[in-house]
A and B are shown apart, each in its own frame.
Chain A
Amino acid sequence: MRRALLGALGIALFLALWEAIGRLGLAGISWPPLSSVLTMLTDESRRPLFQRALLATLESTGWGYAWGTSAGLGLATLAHLVPLLRRGSDRLAAVMNSVPSIALGPIFLVLLSRESTPAAVSSIHVFFIVFVAVSSGLQRASDAHRDLFSVLGADRLKRFRRLELPAALPALASGLRLAWPAALIGAIIGEWFGAPRGIGILIINAMQNFQIVLLWCAVLLAVAASLLFYGLLTLLERAAYARFGS
Protein backbone atom coordinates (compact mmCIF):
# COMPACT_ATOMS: atom_id res chain seq x y z
CA MET A 1 0.00 0.00 0.00
CA ARG A 2 2.74 2.39 1.00
CA ARG A 3 4.75 1.34 -2.06
CA ALA A 4 1.82 1.98 -4.38
CA LEU A 5 1.26 5.40 -2.84
CA LEU A 6 4.92 6.35 -3.18
CA GLY A 7 4.94 5.09 -6.78
CA ALA A 8 1.86 7.13 -7.68
CA LEU A 9 3.43 10.13 -5.97
CA GLY A 10 6.62 9.59 -8.01
CA ILE A 11 4.71 9.57 -11.29
CA ALA A 12 2.70 12.63 -10.24
CA LEU A 13 5.92 14.47 -9.32
CA PHE A 14 7.43 13.56 -12.69
CA LEU A 15 4.41 14.89 -14.58
CA ALA A 16 4.33 18.06 -12.45
CA LEU A 17 8.05 18.60 -13.08
CA TRP A 18 7.48 18.18 -16.81
CA GLU A 19 4.66 20.75 -16.73
CA ALA A 20 6.71 23.19 -14.62
CA ILE A 21 9.81 22.98 -16.83
CA GLY A 22 7.63 23.65 -19.86
CA ARG A 23 5.70 26.53 -18.25
CA LEU A 24 8.84 28.25 -17.00
CA GLY A 25 10.72 27.57 -20.24
CA LEU A 26 13.69 26.12 -18.34
CA ALA A 27 14.68 23.82 -21.22
CA GLY A 28 13.97 26.32 -23.99
CA ILE A 29 11.16 26.27 -26.52
CA SER A 30 11.70 22.60 -27.34
CA TRP A 31 10.17 21.49 -24.03
CA PRO A 32 6.45 22.35 -24.10
CA PRO A 33 4.33 21.96 -20.96
CA LEU A 34 2.55 18.62 -20.68
CA SER A 35 -0.85 20.34 -20.78
CA SER A 36 -0.31 21.82 -24.24
CA VAL A 37 0.85 18.44 -25.57
CA LEU A 38 -2.26 16.77 -24.15
CA THR A 39 -4.47 19.54 -25.53
CA MET A 40 -3.17 18.91 -29.04
CA LEU A 41 -3.35 15.15 -28.56
CA THR A 42 -7.03 15.31 -27.65
CA ASP A 43 -7.89 18.01 -30.21
CA GLU A 44 -10.88 16.88 -32.28
CA SER A 45 -9.49 18.21 -35.59
CA ARG A 46 -6.20 16.32 -35.20
CA ARG A 47 -7.81 13.02 -34.32
CA PRO A 48 -7.90 11.57 -37.89
CA LEU A 49 -4.17 12.32 -38.29
CA PHE A 50 -3.17 10.61 -35.06
CA GLN A 51 -5.55 7.73 -35.60
CA ARG A 52 -4.22 7.01 -39.11
CA ALA A 53 -0.60 7.18 -37.97
CA LEU A 54 -1.16 5.02 -34.91
CA LEU A 55 -3.14 2.39 -36.79
CA ALA A 56 -0.54 2.20 -39.58
CA THR A 57 2.30 1.73 -37.09
CA LEU A 58 0.36 -0.80 -35.04
CA GLU A 59 -0.44 -2.77 -38.18
CA SER A 60 3.23 -2.88 -39.25
CA THR A 61 4.30 -3.75 -35.72
CA GLY A 62 1.70 -6.50 -35.54
CA TRP A 63 2.87 -8.11 -38.77
CA GLY A 64 6.50 -7.77 -37.79
CA TYR A 65 5.71 -9.26 -34.40
CA ALA A 66 3.94 -12.24 -35.96
CA TRP A 67 6.63 -12.89 -38.57
CA GLY A 68 9.49 -12.41 -36.14
CA THR A 69 7.92 -14.68 -33.55
CA SER A 70 7.31 -17.44 -36.10
CA ALA A 71 10.85 -17.20 -37.46
CA GLY A 72 12.45 -17.09 -34.01
CA LEU A 73 10.36 -19.98 -32.74
CA GLY A 74 11.02 -21.94 -35.94
CA LEU A 75 14.77 -21.53 -36.01
CA ALA A 76 15.14 -22.18 -32.27
CA THR A 77 13.10 -25.38 -32.59
CA LEU A 78 15.05 -26.53 -35.64
CA ALA A 79 18.36 -25.87 -33.90
CA HIS A 80 17.13 -27.73 -30.83
CA LEU A 81 16.05 -30.80 -32.77
CA VAL A 82 19.11 -30.86 -35.08
CA PRO A 83 22.08 -30.16 -32.77
CA LEU A 84 24.42 -29.95 -35.77
CA LEU A 85 22.73 -26.69 -36.78
CA ARG A 86 22.84 -25.16 -33.30
CA ARG A 87 26.12 -23.23 -33.35
CA GLY A 88 25.53 -21.86 -36.82
CA SER A 89 22.03 -20.65 -36.01
CA ASP A 90 23.26 -18.95 -32.82
CA ARG A 91 25.77 -17.01 -34.85
CA LEU A 92 23.30 -16.22 -37.63
CA ALA A 93 20.87 -14.78 -35.07
CA ALA A 94 23.60 -12.74 -33.36
CA VAL A 95 24.79 -11.29 -36.67
CA MET A 96 21.27 -10.50 -37.90
CA ASN A 97 20.64 -8.71 -34.61
CA SER A 98 23.85 -6.71 -35.11
CA VAL A 99 22.88 -5.29 -38.50
CA PRO A 100 22.00 -1.67 -37.66
CA SER A 101 18.27 -1.07 -38.14
CA ILE A 102 18.94 1.97 -40.29
CA ALA A 103 20.84 -0.32 -42.68
CA LEU A 104 17.98 -2.84 -42.79
CA GLY A 105 15.61 -0.18 -44.10
CA PRO A 106 17.20 0.31 -47.54
CA ILE A 107 17.67 -3.45 -48.00
CA PHE A 108 14.00 -4.24 -47.39
CA LEU A 109 13.07 -1.26 -49.54
CA VAL A 110 14.64 -3.06 -52.53
CA LEU A 111 13.65 -6.56 -51.40
CA LEU A 112 10.01 -5.78 -50.57
CA SER A 113 8.21 -2.43 -50.82
CA ARG A 114 7.87 0.90 -49.04
CA GLU A 115 4.71 -0.31 -47.35
CA SER A 116 6.13 -3.52 -45.92
CA THR A 117 9.59 -2.22 -44.89
CA PRO A 118 8.43 -1.21 -41.35
CA ALA A 119 7.02 -4.68 -40.67
CA ALA A 120 10.18 -6.32 -42.03
CA VAL A 121 12.58 -4.26 -39.88
CA SER A 122 10.34 -4.90 -36.91
CA SER A 123 10.33 -8.65 -37.55
CA ILE A 124 14.15 -8.80 -37.43
CA HIS A 125 14.15 -7.23 -33.94
CA VAL A 126 11.48 -9.64 -32.73
CA PHE A 127 13.13 -12.65 -34.35
CA PHE A 128 16.32 -12.29 -32.30
CA ILE A 129 14.64 -11.79 -28.92
CA VAL A 130 12.24 -14.71 -29.44
CA PHE A 131 15.04 -16.92 -30.76
CA VAL A 132 17.24 -16.27 -27.71
CA ALA A 133 14.34 -16.72 -25.27
CA VAL A 134 13.09 -19.96 -26.83
CA SER A 135 16.58 -21.44 -27.24
CA SER A 136 17.29 -21.03 -23.55
CA GLY A 137 13.75 -22.09 -22.62
CA LEU A 138 14.01 -25.36 -24.54
CA GLN A 139 16.95 -26.35 -22.36
CA ARG A 140 15.05 -25.68 -19.16
CA ALA A 141 13.45 -29.14 -18.84
CA SER A 142 15.24 -31.03 -16.07
CA ASP A 143 17.53 -33.96 -16.85
CA ALA A 144 15.48 -36.22 -14.60
CA HIS A 145 12.37 -35.54 -16.66
CA ARG A 146 14.31 -36.15 -19.87
CA ASP A 147 15.57 -39.47 -18.56
CA LEU A 148 12.08 -40.46 -17.48
CA PHE A 149 10.75 -39.79 -20.96
CA SER A 150 13.56 -41.85 -22.51
CA VAL A 151 13.00 -44.75 -20.10
CA LEU A 152 9.29 -44.76 -20.89
CA GLY A 153 10.16 -45.01 -24.56
CA ALA A 154 9.24 -41.54 -25.83
CA ASP A 155 10.96 -40.66 -29.10
CA ARG A 156 12.71 -37.35 -29.77
CA LEU A 157 9.64 -35.64 -31.16
CA LYS A 158 7.28 -36.80 -28.46
CA ARG A 159 9.73 -35.64 -25.82
CA PHE A 160 9.89 -32.28 -27.53
CA ARG A 161 6.13 -31.86 -27.74
CA ARG A 162 5.20 -33.15 -24.31
CA LEU A 163 8.15 -31.99 -22.22
CA GLU A 164 10.52 -29.47 -23.72
CA LEU A 165 8.02 -27.22 -25.50
CA PRO A 166 5.76 -26.75 -22.43
CA ALA A 167 8.85 -26.10 -20.31
CA ALA A 168 9.91 -23.38 -22.75
CA LEU A 169 6.58 -21.52 -22.66
CA PRO A 170 7.43 -19.18 -19.75
CA ALA A 171 10.67 -18.16 -21.49
CA LEU A 172 8.72 -17.62 -24.72
CA ALA A 173 6.28 -15.39 -22.84
CA SER A 174 9.15 -13.32 -21.40
CA GLY A 175 10.60 -13.02 -24.88
CA LEU A 176 7.25 -11.90 -26.27
CA ARG A 177 7.00 -9.20 -23.61
CA LEU A 178 10.50 -7.86 -24.26
CA ALA A 179 10.00 -8.07 -28.02
CA TRP A 180 7.07 -5.66 -28.12
CA PRO A 181 8.97 -2.37 -27.55
CA ALA A 182 11.69 -3.65 -29.89
CA ALA A 183 9.06 -4.42 -32.53
CA LEU A 184 7.67 -0.91 -32.22
CA ILE A 185 11.15 0.61 -32.58
CA GLY A 186 11.71 -1.50 -35.69
CA ALA A 187 8.44 -0.34 -37.25
CA ILE A 188 9.19 3.33 -36.46
CA ILE A 189 12.69 3.13 -37.97
CA GLY A 190 11.33 1.21 -40.95
CA GLU A 191 8.83 3.99 -41.59
CA TRP A 192 11.64 6.50 -42.02
CA PHE A 193 12.38 4.87 -45.37
CA GLY A 194 9.42 6.22 -47.26
CA ALA A 195 6.39 4.58 -45.65
CA PRO A 196 3.22 6.46 -46.62
CA ARG A 197 2.10 7.04 -43.01
CA GLY A 198 2.80 6.10 -39.40
CA ILE A 199 4.15 7.38 -36.09
CA GLY A 200 7.71 7.31 -37.46
CA ILE A 201 6.69 9.59 -40.34
CA LEU A 202 4.94 11.91 -37.92
CA ILE A 203 8.05 12.07 -35.73
CA ILE A 204 10.42 12.82 -38.61
CA ASN A 205 8.15 15.41 -40.23
CA ALA A 206 7.49 17.20 -36.93
CA MET A 207 11.22 17.17 -36.12
CA GLN A 208 12.21 18.63 -39.49
CA ASN A 209 9.47 21.25 -39.53
CA PHE A 210 10.06 22.39 -35.93
CA GLN A 211 6.52 21.43 -34.89
CA ILE A 212 7.61 20.83 -31.33
CA VAL A 213 4.24 20.06 -29.74
CA LEU A 214 3.33 17.73 -32.58
CA LEU A 215 6.68 15.94 -32.12
CA TRP A 216 5.95 15.35 -28.44
CA CYS A 217 2.44 14.16 -29.32
CA ALA A 218 3.89 11.57 -31.71
CA VAL A 219 6.40 10.41 -29.12
CA LEU A 220 3.67 10.14 -26.48
CA LEU A 221 1.58 8.06 -28.88
CA ALA A 222 4.52 5.70 -29.43
CA VAL A 223 5.08 5.45 -25.68
CA ALA A 224 1.39 4.77 -25.05
CA ALA A 225 1.30 2.07 -27.73
CA SER A 226 4.39 0.49 -26.19
CA LEU A 227 3.14 0.58 -22.59
CA LEU A 228 -0.37 -0.69 -23.32
CA PHE A 229 0.78 -3.87 -25.06
CA TYR A 230 3.76 -4.29 -22.73
CA GLY A 231 1.31 -4.32 -19.83
CA LEU A 232 -0.94 -6.90 -21.52
CA LEU A 233 2.04 -9.10 -22.36
CA THR A 234 3.25 -8.88 -18.76
CA LEU A 235 -0.09 -10.40 -17.71
CA LEU A 236 0.35 -13.15 -20.31
CA GLU A 237 3.84 -13.81 -18.97
CA ARG A 238 2.56 -14.11 -15.39
CA ALA A 239 -0.08 -16.59 -16.55
CA ALA A 240 2.55 -18.63 -18.39
CA TYR A 241 4.79 -18.76 -15.31
CA ALA A 242 1.86 -19.69 -13.08
CA ARG A 243 0.81 -22.55 -15.36
CA PHE A 244 4.09 -23.84 -16.83
CA GLY A 245 6.82 -22.40 -14.59
CA SER A 246 8.68 -24.68 -12.25
Chain B
Amino acid sequence: MKRPFLLRLVEDYWGILLLLIAWQLWVVVSRFNPIVMPTPVAVLGDLVRHPDIYLRNVGITLAIAVFGLVAGMLVGTGLAIAAWFSPVASGLLNPLTVLFSSVPVVALIPVIARILGYDTSTVLAIVVIITFFPSFVFASSGLRAPPPGSEDLFRVLGASRLSLLWRLALPAAMPNLAVAFKLAAAHAILAAMVAEFLMGTTGLGYLFAKTKSDFQTEQAFGVSIVATVISAAAYLGAGWVERRVRDRYA
Protein backbone atom coordinates (compact mmCIF):
# COMPACT_ATOMS: atom_id res chain seq x y z
CA MET B 1 0.00 0.00 0.00
CA LYS B 2 1.40 3.36 -0.94
CA ARG B 3 1.15 5.96 1.75
CA PRO B 4 -0.07 9.43 0.84
CA PHE B 5 2.78 11.83 0.07
CA LEU B 6 2.16 14.22 2.95
CA LEU B 7 1.99 11.45 5.53
CA ARG B 8 5.21 9.96 4.21
CA LEU B 9 6.89 13.35 4.39
CA VAL B 10 5.90 13.80 8.03
CA GLU B 11 6.84 10.26 9.00
CA ASP B 12 10.27 10.44 7.39
CA TYR B 13 11.19 14.01 8.18
CA TRP B 14 9.31 14.93 11.37
CA GLY B 15 12.57 15.53 13.22
CA ILE B 16 14.00 17.88 10.63
CA LEU B 17 10.68 19.71 10.15
CA LEU B 18 10.42 20.21 13.92
CA LEU B 19 13.96 21.55 13.99
CA LEU B 20 13.25 24.08 11.22
CA ILE B 21 9.96 25.21 12.78
CA ALA B 22 11.60 25.60 16.19
CA TRP B 23 14.40 27.65 14.61
CA GLN B 24 11.92 29.97 12.84
CA LEU B 25 9.77 30.43 15.96
CA TRP B 26 12.79 30.96 18.19
CA VAL B 27 14.16 33.76 16.01
CA VAL B 28 10.77 35.45 15.59
CA VAL B 29 9.87 35.26 19.29
CA SER B 30 13.26 36.44 20.57
CA ARG B 31 13.30 39.27 17.98
CA PHE B 32 16.92 38.64 17.05
CA ASN B 33 18.68 41.06 14.78
CA PRO B 34 19.21 39.17 11.49
CA ILE B 35 22.96 39.80 11.89
CA VAL B 36 22.93 37.68 15.02
CA MET B 37 20.56 34.96 13.90
CA PRO B 38 18.54 34.92 10.66
CA THR B 39 15.37 32.91 10.15
CA PRO B 40 15.46 29.79 7.96
CA VAL B 41 13.18 31.58 5.50
CA ALA B 42 15.67 34.46 5.14
CA VAL B 43 18.54 32.00 4.67
CA LEU B 44 16.58 30.22 1.96
CA GLY B 45 16.05 33.59 0.30
CA ASP B 46 19.79 34.21 0.18
CA LEU B 47 20.33 30.75 -1.33
CA VAL B 48 17.90 31.56 -4.11
CA ARG B 49 19.35 35.04 -4.76
CA HIS B 50 23.03 34.08 -5.03
CA PRO B 51 23.19 30.61 -6.57
CA ASP B 52 26.45 31.41 -8.41
CA ILE B 53 28.50 32.11 -5.25
CA TYR B 54 27.29 28.93 -3.62
CA LEU B 55 27.74 26.75 -6.69
CA ARG B 56 31.30 27.90 -7.34
CA ASN B 57 32.44 27.19 -3.77
CA VAL B 58 30.55 23.90 -3.57
CA GLY B 59 32.41 22.85 -6.72
CA ILE B 60 35.80 23.70 -5.21
CA THR B 61 35.19 21.99 -1.88
CA LEU B 62 33.62 18.92 -3.50
CA ALA B 63 36.50 18.57 -5.96
CA ILE B 64 39.05 18.72 -3.12
CA ALA B 65 37.08 16.28 -0.99
CA VAL B 66 36.65 13.78 -3.85
CA PHE B 67 40.27 13.96 -5.06
CA GLY B 68 41.54 13.73 -1.50
CA LEU B 69 39.23 10.83 -0.71
CA VAL B 70 40.30 8.83 -3.78
CA ALA B 71 44.00 9.55 -3.23
CA GLY B 72 43.80 8.81 0.51
CA MET B 73 42.02 5.52 -0.08
CA LEU B 74 44.49 4.48 -2.80
CA VAL B 75 47.49 5.25 -0.59
CA GLY B 76 45.88 3.55 2.42
CA THR B 77 44.92 0.41 0.50
CA GLY B 78 48.30 0.34 -1.27
CA LEU B 79 50.20 0.48 2.01
CA ALA B 80 47.89 -2.14 3.50
CA ILE B 81 48.73 -4.45 0.57
CA ALA B 82 52.46 -3.76 1.03
CA ALA B 83 52.10 -4.62 4.72
CA TRP B 84 50.16 -7.78 3.77
CA PHE B 85 53.15 -8.97 1.71
CA SER B 86 55.58 -8.39 4.57
CA PRO B 87 54.70 -9.59 8.08
CA VAL B 88 57.57 -7.54 9.49
CA ALA B 89 56.22 -4.33 7.97
CA SER B 90 52.71 -5.02 9.21
CA GLY B 91 54.03 -5.84 12.67
CA LEU B 92 55.88 -2.53 12.72
CA LEU B 93 52.93 -0.51 11.43
CA ASN B 94 50.07 -2.14 13.31
CA PRO B 95 50.21 -0.45 16.72
CA LEU B 96 51.05 2.87 15.06
CA THR B 97 47.91 2.80 12.96
CA VAL B 98 45.77 1.84 15.94
CA LEU B 99 47.31 4.78 17.75
CA PHE B 100 46.69 7.15 14.88
CA SER B 101 43.12 6.06 14.26
CA SER B 102 42.19 7.18 17.77
CA VAL B 103 43.90 10.56 17.43
CA PRO B 104 41.63 13.61 17.13
CA VAL B 105 42.53 14.36 13.52
CA VAL B 106 41.23 17.92 13.49
CA ALA B 107 43.89 18.80 16.04
CA LEU B 108 46.51 17.81 13.48
CA ILE B 109 45.26 20.24 10.81
CA PRO B 110 47.12 23.32 12.17
CA VAL B 111 50.35 21.32 12.37
CA ILE B 112 50.03 20.00 8.83
CA ALA B 113 49.19 23.51 7.65
CA ARG B 114 52.32 24.91 9.31
CA ILE B 115 54.50 22.27 7.64
CA LEU B 116 53.03 22.42 4.14
CA GLY B 117 52.13 26.11 3.89
CA TYR B 118 48.82 27.89 3.69
CA ASP B 119 47.15 27.18 0.36
CA THR B 120 44.74 24.94 -1.48
CA SER B 121 47.20 22.10 -2.02
CA THR B 122 47.56 21.88 1.77
CA VAL B 123 43.79 21.52 2.12
CA LEU B 124 44.02 18.63 -0.34
CA ALA B 125 46.94 17.07 1.55
CA ILE B 126 44.97 17.27 4.79
CA VAL B 127 42.03 15.43 3.24
CA VAL B 128 44.40 12.76 1.88
CA ILE B 129 46.05 12.26 5.28
CA ILE B 130 42.76 12.12 7.13
CA THR B 131 41.10 9.64 4.76
CA PHE B 132 44.27 7.55 4.68
CA PHE B 133 43.94 6.26 8.25
CA PRO B 134 40.55 4.54 8.07
CA SER B 135 41.35 2.99 4.69
CA PHE B 136 44.65 1.59 5.91
CA VAL B 137 43.21 0.22 9.15
CA PHE B 138 40.15 -1.37 7.55
CA ALA B 139 41.98 -2.68 4.47
CA SER B 140 44.67 -4.28 6.65
CA SER B 141 42.21 -6.11 8.86
CA GLY B 142 40.14 -7.17 5.83
CA LEU B 143 43.11 -8.53 3.92
CA ARG B 144 44.09 -10.68 6.88
CA ALA B 145 40.64 -12.17 7.45
CA PRO B 146 39.67 -14.34 4.44
CA PRO B 147 37.05 -17.07 5.01
CA PRO B 148 38.49 -19.82 7.27
CA GLY B 149 40.32 -22.54 5.35
CA SER B 150 40.26 -20.75 2.03
CA GLU B 151 43.89 -19.71 2.33
CA ASP B 152 44.95 -23.35 2.83
CA LEU B 153 42.97 -24.35 -0.25
CA PHE B 154 44.76 -21.72 -2.34
CA ARG B 155 48.14 -22.92 -1.07
CA VAL B 156 47.33 -26.58 -1.70
CA LEU B 157 46.36 -25.71 -5.26
CA GLY B 158 49.72 -23.96 -5.66
CA ALA B 159 48.49 -20.38 -5.98
CA SER B 160 51.20 -17.73 -6.04
CA ARG B 161 51.28 -14.98 -3.44
CA LEU B 162 50.06 -12.53 -6.09
CA SER B 163 47.05 -14.57 -7.15
CA LEU B 164 46.31 -15.20 -3.48
CA LEU B 165 46.14 -11.43 -3.08
CA TRP B 166 44.13 -10.80 -6.23
CA ARG B 167 41.67 -13.67 -5.98
CA LEU B 168 41.26 -14.15 -2.25
CA ALA B 169 42.56 -11.42 0.05
CA LEU B 170 41.39 -8.40 -1.94
CA PRO B 171 37.83 -9.65 -2.51
CA ALA B 172 37.70 -10.63 1.18
CA ALA B 173 38.74 -7.09 2.08
CA MET B 174 36.09 -5.41 -0.08
CA PRO B 175 33.35 -5.15 2.61
CA ASN B 176 35.89 -3.64 5.01
CA LEU B 177 37.04 -1.18 2.35
CA ALA B 178 33.42 -0.18 1.85
CA VAL B 179 33.10 0.62 5.55
CA ALA B 180 36.31 2.64 5.31
CA PHE B 181 34.85 4.47 2.32
CA LYS B 182 31.73 5.35 4.29
CA LEU B 183 33.75 6.69 7.22
CA ALA B 184 36.26 8.49 5.01
CA ALA B 185 33.63 10.10 2.77
CA ALA B 186 32.04 11.84 5.74
CA HIS B 187 35.47 12.81 7.10
CA ALA B 188 36.66 14.12 3.72
CA ILE B 189 34.09 16.91 3.46
CA LEU B 190 34.38 17.84 7.13
CA ALA B 191 38.19 17.94 6.93
CA ALA B 192 38.16 19.99 3.74
CA MET B 193 35.80 22.52 5.31
CA VAL B 194 37.71 22.84 8.58
CA ALA B 195 40.98 23.24 6.67
CA GLU B 196 39.45 25.90 4.41
CA PHE B 197 37.96 27.60 7.45
CA LEU B 198 41.36 27.82 9.14
CA MET B 199 43.62 28.73 6.23
CA GLY B 200 41.91 28.42 2.88
CA THR B 201 41.43 31.07 0.24
CA THR B 202 38.46 29.42 -1.51
CA GLY B 203 35.75 26.87 -0.90
CA LEU B 204 32.80 26.53 1.46
CA GLY B 205 34.85 26.66 4.66
CA TYR B 206 36.51 29.90 3.57
CA LEU B 207 33.22 31.41 2.42
CA PHE B 208 31.76 30.58 5.82
CA ALA B 209 34.66 32.22 7.69
CA LYS B 210 34.54 35.29 5.47
CA THR B 211 30.78 35.88 5.53
CA LYS B 212 30.76 35.27 9.28
CA SER B 213 33.36 37.94 9.96
CA ASP B 214 31.70 40.34 7.47
CA PHE B 215 28.40 39.90 9.36
CA GLN B 216 26.71 38.46 6.27
CA THR B 217 25.07 36.01 8.63
CA GLU B 218 22.39 34.90 6.18
CA GLN B 219 25.02 33.77 3.72
CA ALA B 220 27.06 32.08 6.45
CA PHE B 221 23.99 30.07 7.39
CA GLY B 222 23.32 29.41 3.72
CA VAL B 223 26.79 27.88 3.49
CA SER B 224 26.07 25.76 6.56
CA ILE B 225 22.84 24.46 5.06
CA VAL B 226 24.47 23.70 1.70
CA ALA B 227 27.32 21.91 3.47
CA THR B 228 24.86 19.95 5.59
CA VAL B 229 22.91 18.81 2.54
CA ILE B 230 26.13 17.74 0.76
CA SER B 231 27.49 15.77 3.71
CA ALA B 232 24.12 14.15 4.34
CA ALA B 233 23.99 13.15 0.66
CA ALA B 234 27.57 11.86 0.85
CA TYR B 235 26.72 9.86 3.97
CA LEU B 236 23.59 8.32 2.40
CA GLY B 237 25.36 7.70 -0.92
CA ALA B 238 28.33 6.06 0.78
CA GLY B 239 25.93 3.95 2.84
CA TRP B 240 24.28 2.78 -0.38
CA VAL B 241 27.68 1.89 -1.90
CA GLU B 242 28.60 0.02 1.29
CA ARG B 243 25.40 -2.08 1.18
CA ARG B 244 25.92 -2.92 -2.50
CA VAL B 245 29.52 -3.99 -1.91
CA ARG B 246 28.51 -6.06 1.12
CA ASP B 247 25.81 -7.83 -0.87
CA ARG B 248 28.25 -8.59 -3.64
CA TYR B 249 31.29 -9.75 -1.63
CA ALA B 250 30.14 -10.86 1.81
Q: Residues on A close to B: CB < 8 A?
A: 2-3, 6-11, 13-14, 27-28, 30-31, 84-85, 87-89, 91-95, 97-103, 106-107, 110, 180-181, 184-185, 188-189, 199, 203-204, 206-207, 212, 215-216, 218-219, 222-223, 226-227, 230
**Count of A-B contacts judged by CB separation below 8 Å:** 150
Give the shortest distance, in Å, between B207 (CB) and chain A (any CB).
11
A92 to B115, CA, bound (A): 39
> Which stretch of B11-19, B49-57, B157-165 is in the interface?
B11-19
Chain B interface helix/strand/loop/mixed: helix
A180 to B235, CA, bound (A): 21
Residues in chain A near residue B205, CB distance under 8 A = 100, 102
Nearest B residue to A104, CB-CB: B224
Residues in chain B near residue A88, CB distance under 8 A = 10-16
Nearest A residue to B105, CB-CB: A185
Contact of A95 among B37, B95, B208, B228 (CB under 8 A): B228
Contact of B224 among A8, A97, A103, A223 (CB under 8 A): A103
Give the shortest distance, in Å, between A207 (CB) and chain B (any CB).
4
Produce 1/0 per residue, B218-243, CB < 8 A to A.
00110110011111100110000000
Give the shortest distance, in Å, between A198 (CB) and chain B (any CB).
12
* Residue contact A203 to B16, C-beta cutoff 8 Å: no
Residues in chain B near residue A13, CB distance under 8 A = 92
Q: Which residues in chain B, 177-205, are within 8 Å of chain A measured between CB atoms?
A: 186, 189-190, 193-194, 197-198, 205
Nearest B residue to A12, CB-CB: B92
Residues in chain B near residue A27, CB distance under 8 A = 115
Contact of B11 among A8, A9, A84 (CB under 8 A): A84
A-B residue pairs in contact (CB < 8 Å), sample of 15: A10-B93, A88-B12, A98-B228, A98-B229, A98-B232, A99-B224, A110-B37, A188-B106, A188-B107, A189-B106, A207-B198, A212-B114, A215-B114, A219-B108, A223-B104
Give the shortest distance, in Å, between A112 (CB) and chain B (any CB).
13
Give the shortest distance, in Å, between A56 (CB) and chain B (any CB).
15
Contact of A87 among B11, B105, B106 (CB under 8 A): B11
Give the shortest distance, in Å, between B58 (CB) and chain A (any CB).
13
Q: Which of B15, B93, B197 has the most CB of A within 10 A?
A: B15
* Residue contact A102 to B208, C-beta cutoff 8 Å: yes
Contact of B15 among A91, A189, A199 (CB under 8 A): A91
* Residue contact A181 to B190, C-beta cutoff 8 Å: no
Give the shortest distance, in Å, between B65 (CB) and chain A (any CB).
12
* Residue contact B115 to A203, C-beta cutoff 8 Å: no
* Residue contact A185 to B107, C-beta cutoff 8 Å: yes
Give the shortest distance, in Å, between B99 (CB) and chain A (any CB).
7
Total B residues in contact with A, Cβ cutoff 8 Å: 54
Give the shortest distance, in Å, between B213 (CB) and chain A (any CB).
11
A92 to B114, CA, bound (A): 37
Chain A interface helix/strand/loop/mixed: helix
Residues in chain A near residue B129, CB distance under 8 A = none
Residues in chain A near residue B94, CB distance under 8 A = 3, 6-7, 10
* Residue contact A10 to B92, C-beta cutoff 8 Å: yes
Query: Known contacts A7-B91, A88-B11: does B106 contact A219 (CB below 8 Å)?
Result: no
* B29 close to A (CB within 8 Å): no
* B156 close to A (CB within 8 Å): no
A165 to B94, CA, bound (A): 34
Query: Known contacts A28-B115, A185-B107: does B16 contact A91 (CB below 8 Å)?
Result: yes
Query: Known contacts A7-B92, A11-B95, A100-B224: does B102 contact A30 (CB below 8 Å)?
Result: no
Q: A98-B235, A206-B110, A223-B103 are in contact. List 15 more A-B contacts (CB 8 A).
A: A10-B93, A27-B115, A30-B115, A95-B228, A98-B232, A100-B224, A106-B220, A181-B104, A207-B110, A207-B198, A219-B108, A222-B104, A222-B107, A226-B102, A227-B102
Give the shortest distance, in Å, between A60 (CB) and chain B (any CB).
13
Query: Known contacts A110-B37, A215-B111: does B235 contact A94 (CB below 8 Å)?
Result: yes
Give the shortest distance, in Å, between B228 (CB) and chain A (any CB).
5
* Residue contact A10 to B115, C-beta cutoff 8 Å: no
Give the shortest distance, in Å, between B180 (CB) and chain A (any CB).
14
Contact of B102 among A99, A100, A206, A230 (CB under 8 A): A230
Residues in chain A near residue B224, CB distance under 8 A = 99-100, 103
